[in-house]
A = this chain, B = another copy of it.
Amino acid sequence: MTDPRYTPLALSLPATVPFVGPETQERARGTAFTARLGANENIFGPSPRAIEAMQTASADIWMYGDPENHELRQALAAHHDLSPDNIMVGEGIDGLLGYLVRLLISPGDTVVTSLGAYPTFNYHVSGYGGVLHTVPYKDDHEDLTSLFAKAGEVGAKLVYLANPDNPMGSWHRGADIVAALDHLPSDCLLLLDEAYVECAPKGTAAPVDANDTRLIRMRTFSKAYGMAGARVGYALAAPDLIAAFNKVRNHFGMNRAAQAGALAALQDQDWLAHVLAEITTARRRIGEIADQNGLKAQPSATNFVAIDCGQDSIFAKRVLDALIDLGIFVRMPFAAPQNRCIRISCGPSKDLEAFASALPQALISARKTQ
């Protein structure tokens, strides 16, 4: 045979990649980036205790990880003051998003998100044949009212909301999300992606009962905890929904060292506080750099800052391309009007000063080619 008999759905899917990795760009450039500021990674890194735990566990990597993620779930339950039955650990939020979409979405089912929000969620929805409806951002914020109204209008099974938002770094008060839940259609589940919530002001995390069946929240060790390469995320939801993941997940899918690292990272809240202070400093510095170049940094509750380049997406793309040529890896939002911005990860001075040095030249270059 020439081709296997793919499913009609698989045949219909494009061979898309949600993101191109910086390593791919480095290979194309033939040289490494000076600063890696494009992927919302946390350059301050994880707790030294987490690194040590992963290094110790590496020597025992001949063993499969515990498929129940028992110790980590126990620790997370204590940390969040809820039951382990409210917690599912998975291969990053990306992995958990895939499982959740698989549980809910058959071909033709409708899903709502914001235009230009997290592409990997959209990738999973398309991958299971879901039909995606979008609502625009409002003043650079995901628009709670419109999202939930659209969900009702299209009969959505699932609505996606990131709080704080990626790529803009904007946020809603958790209490406002809880209030808005009254307007969520009763047969629609809210997927609340709180990947960046540790970086946000107090009151940003949605103050909901873990057994509230109207929503599922997702958290990660990739951002504030600085372990993106480990692939550890978790979902918080009512026990029945958490248990449903056991029907489809890759039970032995977790890396054993990553399990140990996440546990140690959670137990080192002092390091988390240290990193959050560094992120605050970095956000301020990115704001200054923008100012000094006549650009406007967006307020951010995340470990990155969107900088408004003051013109359209074509201009922002020119700035981005020039930065990449100068060895600074950055990314930009995918959809208008957010794509007038470029997005800069927080990092130590060395990285930010490399960005500060490159930006004026990138702007000259971008303006020259207009």
Contact = CB atoms under 8 A, between A and B. Distances in A.
Interface of A: 1-10, 13-21, 23-24, 27, 36, 39, 41-46, 51, 54-55, 57-68, 70, 91-92, 94-95, 98, 102-106, 109, 120, 127, 157-158, 186-189, 213-214, 222, 226-231, 240-241, 243-244, 246-248, 250-258, 261
23 contacts: A4-B157, A4-B213, A4-B241, A7-B102, A8-B106, A10-B104, A13-B248, A17-B246, A19-B251, A23-B70, A24-B67, A24-B70, A42-B62, A44-B62, A45-B60, A46-B61, A51-B58, A62-B227, A231-B252, A231-B254, A231-B255, A255-B257, A255-B258
Contacts of A189: 1, 4-5
Given A10-B104, A23-B70, A104-B5, A229 B64 contact: yes
Contacts of A63: 36, 39, 41, 228-229
Nearest to A254: B231
A46 B51 CA distance: 20
A229 B91 contact: no
A275 to B, nearest CB: 10
A230 B279 CA distance: 31
A70 B66 CA distance: 29
Nearest to A2: B213
Given A6-B103, A70-B23, A257-B229, A248 B64 contact: no
A60 B64 CA distance: 22
A231 B91 CA distance: 11
Contacts of A10: 102-104, 244, 247-248
Contacts of A15: 243-244, 246-247
Nearest to A6: B103
A229 B1 contact: no
Contacts of A256: 229-230
Contacts of A55: 54-55, 58
Q: Which interface residue of A10, A18, A39, A41 has the most chain B CB atoms within 10 A?
A: A10
Contacts of A67: 17, 19-21, 24
A266 B7 CA distance: 34
Contacts of A2: 213
Contacts of A59: 45, 51
Given A10-B247, A23-B68, A55-B55, 5 more contacts: A15-B244, A18-B251, A51-B58, A54-B58, A257-B257
A102 B5 CA distance: 12
A58 B257 contact: yes
Contacts of A5: 104, 157, 187, 189
- Which 7 pairs of residues, A with B, have the shortest CB-CB distance? A229-B256, A54-B58, A23-B66, A13-B247, A55-B55, A61-B229, A255-B255
B6 A92 contact: no
Contacts of A257: 54, 58, 229-230, 255, 257
Nearest to A102: B10
Given A27-B70, A252-B94, A229 B60 contact: yes
Contacts of A244: 6, 10, 15
A169 B17 CA distance: 39
Nearest to A56: B55
Contacts of A186: 1
A13 to B, nearest CB: 4
Given A21-B66, A104-B4, A104-B5, A95 B250 contact: yes
